[in-house]
Amino acid sequence: MIETEGAVCLIWEKLKDFFDLHGDIASIQEITERINAGVQFRGTNLSVLMLAIFIASIGLNMNSTAVIIGAMLISPLMGSILGIGYGLARYDSTYIRSSAGSLLAQVIISVATSTLYFSLTPIDAPSSELLARTSPTIWDVLIAVFGGLAGIIGVTRKEGGNVIPGVAIATALMPPLCTAGYGIATGVMAYTVGALYLFFINSFFICLTAFIVLKIIDIPSKIERNSVEFSRQKRYLMAFAVLVTLPSCFFAYQSVQENLENEQAKIYIEENFKAPPRLAISYTLDNEKKMLTVFTIAGISEDDLTVLTEKLHEKAHLRPFRLEVFSAETVEEREKMEAMIDQRLSEVEKSAIPSMQEQQTVTALKSAREESEKKGTYILDWNREARIVFPQISRIAVGSVQAPAPAADKSAALSETQIAFIYLQSDMDEASRARLTEWISDKAKNRVEVHFLPEVSAANENKGGTVSEDGAHIS
């Protein structure tokens, strides 16, 4: 037992030596001068801040990651935050007030500048880069903690190094303030609240980690405090840190759940809607209303819908979800789909804070509508004409799918294939099938992949038969 304890102590001492922060520490005077330079908010720092805000706002507006990174590199916001941590470590209330005042002025100027920009820009749609700053999670807390540790360690080294620019990029202090300005300019206060919360998280934990590191390296205090007072201070800071972190944990839980649901929905679609006659044009997943909507080329029966719903609920994260399937095969189906799309688009437009998922939903819905409109102009004509020439036909369903182009073809990323499902009410010989295939390709002005399927009657459906791809009925 004694030997074990001795080994543990030895390992601990070795680790302390490895991670010792006193070895290459700068002088107290040098550390103080570096932090003072960052706290000062006039002249160069003020000018650079306003320029950085304009650059970051343009980057968010244009959804340019490179531009946003450039703005974060030149931003002087980090200095005042480290100054507050320095003042806390030294028990210097005057220094804390001065640093906090500088930070508050920087925040006000930043938000006002970004509000001015977004009030004037003609592009008012929220980009993905902007939306990403509206819902902070526990991962943002961790980034702020580790980034803050790296930042203050870099400031207290003899060489200084290039740590601060990297920390500025990682903790992303500038974009949340620009997003807050966007929220004010567009009247969406949820954006402003979420972005300011993200900025507060980053600032608080950078400040907290600066305080901890400066205490570890024994920065001299302005006034002497006993261990009891120091312990009380640590408890207050830790309690406040927990309160700050709790909302981000909730957002993180929501984010993880949505990611799991989206991933399982993708797998479900690939498993059940990738082959004729069930071939999906597009789909949308509403995480809030627990609804999966699939747009298919051909309609499906009630029995198929029941089976598909059961398969949906086999996915652990999709059990609460309901399944809707729409097609543009008939006038009634198209009308139903149009009504549903109008309703969903109206709901998204009324949303106080449209998320990235809602933006993607809008895109998918509009794509489904375009597909429906494109097909609706000729499907009815095809059905009328074909049934006159080929009386064996019950109906025709038409659609298209996109797939990666052959590796040899570098000219296009995707290739589109048109597909037609010919439902037969009686058998058709091979020669007639060939003529019909040629007729459809001629009508489409393109090569069409044709599949022949029997029109399953209600009696046959009750027998539980299935249909193979080549049209044979299998008992």
Q: Residue 111, Cα to own-chain centre: how many angstroms?
A: 24
Distances (CA, A) of 199 to 104, 110, 115, 129, 206: 12, 12, 16, 15, 11
Of 349, 366, 383, the position where a domain reaches its end is: 366
Is 96 inside a domain boundary?
A: yes
Contact status, residue 280 vs residue 295, Cβ threshold 8 Å: yes
Among 34, 165, 184, 167, smallest CA distance to 117 is for 184
Q: Where are the alpha helices (DSSP H) in 40-127?
A: 44-62, 65-74, 78-90, 93-120
**316 and 430 part of one domain:** no
Contact status, residue 471 vs residue 441, Cβ threshold 8 Å: no
| Rg for the chain, CA atoms, rounded | 32
Of 301, 336, 366, the position where a domain reaches its end is: 366
Is 292 inside a domain boundary?
A: yes
**353 and 413 part of one domain:** no
- State residue 14's pLDDT score: 64
- Domain count across the chain: 3
Is 433 inside a domain boundary?
A: yes
The type of residue at 335 is E
Would you give per-residue pLDDT tens digits along the chain (475 residues)? 566 666 666 776 666 666 666 667 778 888 888 888 878 777 777 888 888 899 999 999 888 888 888 888 887 888 888 899 888 888 888 888 889 999 999 999 999 999 999 999 888 777 878 888 887 888 888 888 888 888 888 888 777 556 666 676 767 788 899 999 999 998 888 889 989 998 998 888 888 888 888 888 888 877 666 666 667 777 787 787 888 888 888 877 877 888 888 888 889 888 888 766 677 767 778 887 888 888 776 677 788 888 889 999 988 888 899 898 877 555 566 666 666 666 666 665 555 445 555 555 555 556 655 655 555 445 656 666 676 667 788 777 776 665 555 555 544 455 667 777 788 888 888 878 887 887 777 777 777 788 888 875 433 443 444 333 333 332 2
Is 329 inside a domain boundary?
A: yes
DSSP H/E element including 63: none
Cα(468)–Cα(42) distance, rounded to whole angstroms? Answer: 76
**219 and 268 part of one domain:** no
Q: Residue 106, Cα to own-chain centre: how many angstroms?
A: 29
**30 and 122 part of one domain:** yes
**281 and 391 part of one domain:** no
* Domain span holding position 187: 20-224
Q: Where residue 359 sits, what CATH number does that domain have?
A: 3.30.300
Residue 423 per-residue DSSP state: E
Cα(470)–Cα(370) distance, rounded to whole angstroms? Answer: 30
Cα(204)–Cα(147) distance, rounded to whole angstroms? Answer: 12
Q: Residue 155, Cα to own-chain centre: how many angstroms?
A: 33
- State residue 35's pLDDT score: 86
Q: Which residues contact 198 (CB under 8 A, 6 or more apart)?
A: 133, 134, 136, 140, 176, 179
- State residue 65's pLDDT score: 86
Q: Give 198: exposed, middle or buried? Use CB within 10 Å, 0-12, 13-18, 19+.
A: buried
Is 243 inside a domain boundary?
A: no
SS3 232: helix
- State residue 470's pLDDT score: 37
Q: Where residue 175 sits, what CATH number does that domain have?
A: 1.20.1080
**165 and 68 part of one domain:** yes
Q: Which residues contact 403 (CB under 8 A, 6 or more apart)?
A: 414, 415, 417
The type of residue at 147 is G
**345 and 412 part of one domain:** no
Is 233 inside a domain boundary?
A: no
Is 7 inside a domain boundary?
A: no
SS3 242: helix
**Terminal Cα-to-Cα distance of the chain (whole angstroms):** 73
Cα(399)–Cα(375) distance, rounded to whole angstroms? Answer: 7
Token couple for 278: 């069930």
Among 162, 199, 160, smallest CA distance to 80 is for 199
Q: From the CB of residue 300, how many other CB atoms can be counted at a distance below 10 Å?
A: 18
**40 and 174 part of one domain:** yes
**82 and 175 part of one domain:** yes
Q: Which residues contact 351 (CB under 8 A, 6 or more apart)?
A: 358
Q: Which residues contact 244 (CB under 8 A, 6 or more apart)?
A: 141, 200, 201, 204, 205
**75 and 169 part of one domain:** yes
**81 and 146 part of one domain:** yes
Orientation of helix 356-389 relative to helix 430-444, angle to 10°: 130
**55 and 143 part of one domain:** yes
Token couple for 279: 């071939």
Of 316, 332, 366, the position where a domain reaches its end is: 366
DSSP code per residue over 358-392: HHHHHHHHHHHHHHHHHHHHHHHHHHHHHHHH-TT
Is 164 inside a domain boundary?
A: yes
SS3 224: coil
